[in-house]
């Protein structure tokens, strides 16, 4: 982890499960933390007052309270997706660095507008894709970049979870906040893995099969990818996500000399011709903290 001479005074916007997770992660890091949360913004004041008091946060309902505070240098957004564009643009106008939980936006137009606003203002814009900081995914990236696999030819990714069975209501069941079946909540992490490990998509063909709409949806999404690996090289890819199946994470990179896969957060498996698969369990880390370091 990075050592920081002085943590950046910051505000957390949104004190749901994920926003509270950010606060706890940074406070657990102690003097090594990158950010020091001193403000919290959430319209549900009474529901969040005890948490704010416990963690030494000045709580208010209006984002402008944080934007007008000269001591606040960074904003972390853990808010509904449909609010992201307006909030990121407001942070940019105020000259605050901003970290926005995924998805950055629900439309390409909004995403480009947010990036342009931050570029014009000269402020840093980060997006929360914490699974690329998992030990297993860091190991995959290291192996891919080392050339151990030879020329990379193909990548597969699958991320499914049971949120549609275990989470009642909220954004996960809202077609407006979570379009694309399981892509918004889960599959998007695979999209990020493809981009991080290989490069941007050149072409995507996708389909959704919906057996039951929300509440408690039963659906699946899959996609075929052609990825730009740079220097004229292309890599094929396959993505899948099922919203009702037990939690499952697998990313598998195939090369001319072997392959490597991540199974969950801590396990990798190496495959080479003439050898038994080599399993390795990696030490845990705090991926939520790592993405903000």
Give CB contacts under 8 A, 24+ apart, made by 107-116: 110/84, 110/85, 113/85, 113/89, 114/84, 114/85, 114/88, 114/89
Percent of the chain predicted with pLDDT > 70: 95
Rounded CA separation 188/178 (Å): 11
For residue 6, pLDDT beyond 90: no
Residue-level pLDDT at 185: 84
Q: Which residue has the higher pLDDT, 190 or 168?
A: 190
At 245 the pLDDT is: 86
Comparing 152 with 210, which gets the higher pLDDT?
Answer: 152
Residue that the structure tokens 């001319």 belong to: 256
Q: What is the pTM of this model?
A: 0.92
What is the C-alpha R_g of the chain?
20
| pLDDT greater than 80 at residue 166 | no
pLDDT tens sequence across 120-131: 999 999 999 999
Residue 167 has a pLDDT of 56
| DSSP string covering 26-47 | HHHTGGG-SEEEEEEE-S-HHH
Q: Which of 165, 181, 170, 175 is nearest to 244 (CA)?
A: 165
pLDDT given at position 179? 81
pLDDT of residue 5: 56
Report d(CA 77, CA 100) in Å as an integer. 5
Please give the pLDDT value at position 3.
46
Per-residue pLDDT tens for 215-232? Answer: 778 889 999 999 999 999
The band of 33, judged by pLDDT with boundaries at 50, 70 and 90, is confident
- pLDDT grade, residue 2 (50/70/90)? very low
pLDDT in tens, 51-106: 999 999 999 999 999 999 999 999 999 999 999 999 999 999 999 999 999 999 99
Q: Which domains does the chain have, with CATH numbers?
A: 8-128 (3.40.50.720), 131-290 (3.30.360.10)
Give the pLDDT confidence score for residue 96 in this predicted structure.
98
Give, in degrees to the nearest 5, the angle at Cα 213 between 207 and 219: 40
pLDDT tens-digit readout, 44-55: 999 999 999 999
């Amino acid at each position: 982890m990075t050592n920081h001479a002085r943590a950046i005074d910051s505000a957390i916007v949104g004190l749901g499960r994920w926003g509270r997770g950010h606060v706890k992660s940074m406070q657990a890091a102690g003097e090594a933390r990158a950010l020091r949360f001193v403000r919290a913004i959430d319209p549900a004041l009474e529901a969040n007052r005890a948490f704010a008091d416990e963690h030494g946060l000045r709580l208010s309902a209006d984002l402008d309270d944080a934007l007008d505070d000269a001591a606040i240098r960074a904003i972390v957004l853990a808010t509904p997706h449909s609010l992201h564009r307006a909030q990121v643009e407001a942070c940019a106008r105020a000259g605050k660095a901003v970290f926005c939980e995924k998805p950055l936006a629900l439309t390409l137009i909004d995403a480009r507008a947010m990036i342009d606003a931050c570029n014009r203002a000269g402020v840093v814009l980060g997006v929360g894709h914490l699974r690329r900081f998992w030990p297993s995914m860091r190991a995959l990236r290291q192996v891919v970049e080392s050339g151990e696999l030879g020329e990379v030819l193909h990548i597969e990714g699958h991320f499914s979870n049971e949120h549609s069975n275990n989470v009642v209501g909220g954004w996960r069941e809202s077609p407006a906040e979570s379009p694309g079946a399981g892509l918004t909540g889960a599959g998007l992490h695979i999209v990020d893995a493809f981009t991080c490990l290989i490069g941007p998509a050149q072409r995507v063909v996708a389909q959704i099969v919906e057996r039951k709409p929300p509440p408690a949806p039963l659906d699946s999404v899959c996609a075929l990818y052609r990825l730009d690996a740079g220097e004229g090289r292309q890599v094929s890819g396959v993505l899948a996500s099922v919203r009702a199946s037990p939690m499952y994470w697998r990313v598998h990179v195939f090369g001319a000399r072997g392959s490597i896969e991540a199974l969950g957060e801590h396990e990798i498996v190496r495959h080479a011709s003439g050898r038994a698969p080599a399993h390795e369990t990696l030490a845990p880390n705090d991926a939520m903290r790592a993405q903000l370091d």
